Amino acid sequence: MGTWDKGAFDNDDAADFSGDLDDADPADRVELIREALAAAADNSDYLEVTDANQAIAAAAIVASQQPDGPEVDSAYGPDFLTGGGTIDLPDDFVELSLRAIARVLDEESEWRELWEQADELEEAISALEPIRAALNR
């Protein structure tokens, strides 16, 4: 797993997802975010870390668009959102994001398994708290 820290964009999968969003036609970005969230939220099998990491990044984007949500300030986040940029997202993305994060934290998740193996699960979950807090407001 190419991970260098616990932030939403601090891994290869999330950085690649951000690059894909930057490269996409602005009209296609909402659907790419929906697909990343749904890949985790609607997964009933073992959740692979790539899907989990991309879902976390997508949820961080949704959270950033909520009132008082955490800004996307990572150098690996989508360029069009860094520095307070915006994207118009459907209201149902909040619930979809919360479902995706819940699925990432589930026992049948490679993301969870890898952080447990590194003995850093508690810290990784704590890093998700600002995202979840913004989504739950």
pLDDT of residue 1 exceeding 60: no
Q: What is the Cα–Cα distance from 3 to 112, expressed in whole angstroms?
A: 13
Q: Answer whether 110's CB lies under 8 Å from 39's CB.
A: no
Q: For the whole model, what pTM was predicted?
A: 0.96
Query: Considering the domain boundaries, does residue 1 fall inside one?
Result: no
pLDDT of residue 24 exceeding 90: yes
pLDDT in tens, 55-105: 999 999 999 999 999 999 999 999 999 877 899 999 999 999 999 999 999
Query: Considering the domain boundaries, does residue 76 fall inside one?
Result: yes
Query: Considering the domain boundaries, does residue 112 fall inside one?
Result: yes
- Predicted local confidence at residue 113, as pLDDT: 98
Please state, for a pLDDT cut of 70, what percent of the chain lies above it.
99
Query: Considering the domain boundaries, does residue 87 fall inside one?
Result: yes
Q: Helix or strand or coil: residue 107?
A: coil
Q: Answer whether 43's CB lies under 8 Å from 109's CB.
A: no
Query: Considering the domain boundaries, does residue 6 fall inside one?
Result: no
Domain count along the chain? 1
Average pLDDT (108-129) is 97
Query: Considering the domain boundaries, does residue 25 fall inside one?
Result: yes
pLDDT in tens, 29-53: 999 999 999 999 999 999 999 999 9
- Predicted local confidence at residue 2, as pLDDT: 85
Q: Domain of residue 27: give its range.
A: 12-136
